[in-house]
Each structure stands twice: as C-alpha cells, then as structure tokens.
Amino acid sequence: MTAVPARRRIFVAGHSGMVGSAIVRRLSNDPGVEILTASRAEVDLRDQTRVHTYLAETRPDIIILAAAKVGGILANDTYPADFLYENLIIETNVIGAAHAAGVDRLVFLGSSCIYPKFAPQPIAESSLLTGPLEPTNEWYAIAKIAGIKLCEAFRKQHGRHYISVMPCNLYGTNDNFDLKTSHVLPALIRKFHEAKVAGQKEVVVWGTGTPLREFLHVDDLADGVVFLMDHYDGAETINCGAGSDVTIKELAEIIKDVMGFSGTLVFDTTKPDGTPRKLMDSSRIAALGWKPRIGLKQGIESVYEWFLREKVPVLTSA
C-alpha cells in the first residue's frame, strides 16, 4: 500500500490583503496543502506575544509572509512612521517567532522599491544596497530591506530556509481603490470609471506621465511565489516581475481604452513622479522555469470586471 503523503501546512500571514488573498486562492487548488490563516482580531501581527503563541501552537511547515502596510506614492510620503514602524514590527514578530517555533521555511515578500533609485535597468538582485533609495518610498523600502536581512541572518546563523521574493508593482482583485492611499493602476480605474459615469471630459493623472512602471497581475505573483517556495532556496532576493514596463501615460491610455472613456488626460505636475524607472531583471526566476501569463490589457479588463461586480464604485470622492 502506498503511503498517503502528509499535507503541508502553510500559514499565509496577511490573507485578507490583495497579495495574501491571491496566494490563498492559488494554494486552494493544491490538495496537498492545508492553509492556515488568522484574522487581525485573532492574531494581531503587531503583537509580539500573540504571534509567538500562535506560531508555537500551530507550528506550520511553511509561512508565507504577505502581511504589510502598503500604499501608493502619496500615502508613503504622508505616513512615513506608519510605513516604517508597522512593517518593521510585523516582520520582526513573524520571522522571529517562526524561528522560535521551529518553522524551517518562510517566504518573505518585498518590493522593487528596495533597489536603489538609479540602479542599472533592468534591476538585478545584486543591485541591493548599492546606492540611495527613492525618497518618496524609502520608509517602506528600509523596512523591507530589514526584513530581507532578517531572513538572511536567520539563514546564516541558524540554517533556516527563509527566502525573499521581490515583486514589481502589483494590481488585481482586492486592490485598494481609495484615491488618497492607492497605487496608480486602481486609482486610474476608479478615476476613469467615475469620469465616465459623470460624463466628465477630463481625468487627472498625477505627475508628468513619463515615469516607467512594471505591472504584474497579483494572480501571476501568487503563482510565482508558490513556484519559488518549492524551487528556490537562496540567501539573495529573487525578482518576480512581468518583464516589461510602460510609462504612466501609456498605462493611462490602456485603461482609458479598456474602459471606453473618450475624454482627455490632464497631468498634475504638482504631484510627485517618484522613481523614474524600476524595471526588474527577472531572468533568474525565468531560468528556474517560471513566467507570467496575464498580459497587462487582459489583466486590467479582468480587474475592471471585478470592480464593477463588487460594486467598488460605491465610494466617496477623495
């Protein structure tokens, strides 16, 4: 008789967020996985004692750390203490408690903003800590770099198999559509939608429209994270990106087209551009055998369908 292999128990920290919920969806297809989640009311990841108790009690085989305080360019710049402090404390608690509970495997999620503002493009993993950061999101970036280094340190000192995955700019189901705190892609979907409904002639796009950004659908990212969980075990960060980028103006044109808006774009140059470009070099994950599947236009179409279905438009104006 063949033995039934044990199901892997995977704790997804941050399961209600855009990234965490996509990872839960991806793992739900795998009968060999038991998913563990905990709401903020059950386990506040900022509470060190609670996190240690929870992980000591549950002892998952693997942790995917997708919990983070995230936000767009304005939110990062406006709430530096929240972005630095909350992210540091979540990472420190979860990574430290994982080790204390004997959890040998962990996947930490960062962001392409951890790389230097003027890193050679496309940005290789080896660019980390070779130059100054983009000031608008350095608070978040510093916290994420600390998380990467924590994983590396537990690997070096205790032999833990903790890895760090760097996604590019993400978008998808369960994104944040609040104009004050969101990233550009959901912000523009909402702005074009509202302009269309109200019959407005113009949509305001922040900055000059010239910065370049690389956008990956969160379902692709979730697939990449699960792939790396089983195919990568190194101290260095590993990039997981779409492989190409667009200017913010091009992005706005694609969204305008998908949504059938016939008005014009107005650029508000009093708002920051942020980093000029952050296209990642994703050749290492490609060499391992993974590539994204969802094209940008197709991804935007599916997000807009979700946005309409979920009635996200019932929003207050910002």
Task: Check if 162 is active-site.
Answer: no
- Give the interface size with ligand GDP as a residue count (CB under 6 A): 20
CB contact set of 52 (below 8 Å; sequence gap of 6+): 93, 96, 97, 100, 101
Residue 225, classified by CB atoms within 10 Å of its CB into exposed (0-12), middle (13-18) or buried (19+), is buried
Burial 78-92 (b: 16+ CB within 10 A, else e): ebbeebbebbbbbbb
Q: Which is nearer to ligand GDP, 37 or 181 (CB)?
A: 181
Which among 294, 209, 208 has a CA at the least distance from the CA of 243? Answer: 294
Among 93, 127, 164, 169, contact with ligand GDP (rule: CB under 6 A): 169
Among 10, 18, 62, 73, contact with ligand GDP (rule: CB under 6 A): 73
Among 14, 20, 116, 207, contact with ligand GDP (rule: CB under 6 A): 207
Among 65, 145, 205, 254, contact with ligand GDP (rule: CB under 6 A): 205
Mark the segment that binds ligand GDP (CB under 6 A) among 5-13, 53-61, 214-222, 267-275.
Answer: 267-275
Please tell me whether residue 182 binds ligand GDP under the rule CB under 6 A: yes
Residue 73 beta carbon to ligand GDP: minimum distance, rounded to whole angstroms: 4
Residue 318 beta carbon to ligand GDP: minimum distance, rounded to whole angstroms: 9
Among 69, 117, 155, 213, contact with ligand GDP (rule: CB under 6 A): 213
Q: Which is nearer to ligand GDP, 103 or 145 (CB)?
A: 145
Q: CA-to-CA distance for 314 and 152, rounded, in angstroms? A: 44
Q: CA-to-CA distance for 105 and 45, rounded, in angstroms? A: 18
Residue 266 beta carbon to ligand GDP: minimum distance, rounded to whole angstroms: 11
Please tell me whether residue 14 binds ligand GDP under the rule CB under 6 A: no
Please tell me whether residue 273 binds ligand GDP under the rule CB under 6 A: yes
Answer whether 8's CB lies under 8 Å from 61's CB.
yes
Please tell me whether residue 183 binds ligand GDP under the rule CB under 6 A: yes
Please tell me whether residue 116 binds ligand GDP under the rule CB under 6 A: no
Among 184, 189, 228, 285, contact with ligand GDP (rule: CB under 6 A): 184
Which among 2, 32, 3, 1 has a CA at the least distance from the CA of 229? Answer: 32
Q: Which is nearer to ligand GDP, 93 or 239 (CB)?
A: 239
Q: Which is nearer to ligand GDP, 22 or 184 (CB)?
A: 184
Residue 114 beta carbon to ligand GDP: minimum distance, rounded to whole angstroms: 11
Residues binding ligand GDP (CB under 6 A):
72-73, 113, 137, 169, 182-184, 187-188, 205-207, 211, 213, 248, 271-274
Residues labelled catalytic: 140
